[in-house]
Structure 1
């Protein structure tokens, strides 16, 4: 299985800290936004219905390692890779690049769960319709959209 997805994001003022560089916590927001865009590229969502149940993907682990700072107005290229599919979980790697240099690398492990209102969250095997979409994804990747309205301004 080789799911790969690419997207871009412009660093906004709200993403930066007092030093004028991207605040470390914002990379987790960037990972989540790229993950959601990847799901949409597959025709799926992080919040879907299956057999009357709401299926969602709570986080089991989240981590990010930082190599170089990035600043306001920089363009981030975000590459999403599905590294592992378990029976009930998926593990993603996020490679962040700016100006051709790797600036950070993050990872998320998420669990496939039934998340019905008023019920305890419970992990379930990944439904077949999701597994089929992941397996059918073009391994060369899909270029996603830039967040917000910045797409036309990116060189």
Structure 2
């Protein structure tokens, strides 16, 4: 099962030829991931000044990326509306691997694959002074991720 959202290509996302610049896909992947997490009640940041907390452990957790990649299949252009599917591929003890697939509906026929990205995030406790410490995914967050 995957989470789906949509995104319209904006002018700022394109190069001089009106084609989406390769780098635009990385913030789109993160945005779609966050939208998916919010859809199951996982807060990214409870407020603008503190990172997410696990309800059962009250640990302050954050999710830095340790890997991000994107393969490009076809060009997307200004004003295209893209379908974005986010899938949880693997949940480890402290990490989560996502796949994010971008496609565009063709005038006729099946959707056209545009790009496929993968990210790996690691659950970390945020310590005083901004220091990160790898941590096991809290049970309440794991259950929500497994529901996807």
Fold similarity call, TM over 0.5: yes
Ranges of 4+ aligned residues in structure 1 off by more than 6 Å:
none
Q: 1:43 to 1:63 in 2, by over 3 A?
A: same
Correspondences of 1:71-150 after superposition (within 5 Å): 71-99=77-105, 100-137=111-148
Q: In the alignment, what sits opposite 2:25?
A: 27
Q: In the alignment, what sits opposite 1:57?
A: 63
In the TM superposition, residue 133 of structure 1 has moved relative to its aligned partner by 1.3
In the TM superposition, residue 78 of structure 1 has moved relative to its aligned partner by 0.5
Q: In the alignment, what sits opposite 2:49?
A: none
RMSD (Å), alpha carbons: 1.4
**What are the ranges of 5 or more consecutive residues in structure 2 without an aligned counterpart?**
46-51, 106-110
How many Å separate the matches in 2 of 1:131 and 1:121?
Answer: 19
**What are the ranges of 5 or more consecutive residues in structure 1 without an aligned counterpart?**
138-155
Instruction: Give the count of matched residue pairs.
Output: 135
Is contact 2:88-2:145 (8 Å) kept?
no
Q: In the alignment, what sits opposite 1:46?
A: 44
How many Å separate the matches in 2 of 1:16 and 1:136?
Answer: 35
Is contact 1:46-1:55 (8 Å) kept?
no
How many Å separate the matches in 1 of 2:137 and 2:120?
Answer: 14
Q: 1:118 to 1:77 in 2, by over 3 A?
A: same
- TM normalised by structure 2 equals 0.86
How many Å separate the matches in 2 of 1:130 and 1:81?
Answer: 16
How many Å separate the matches in 2 of 1:67 and 1:134?
Answer: 28
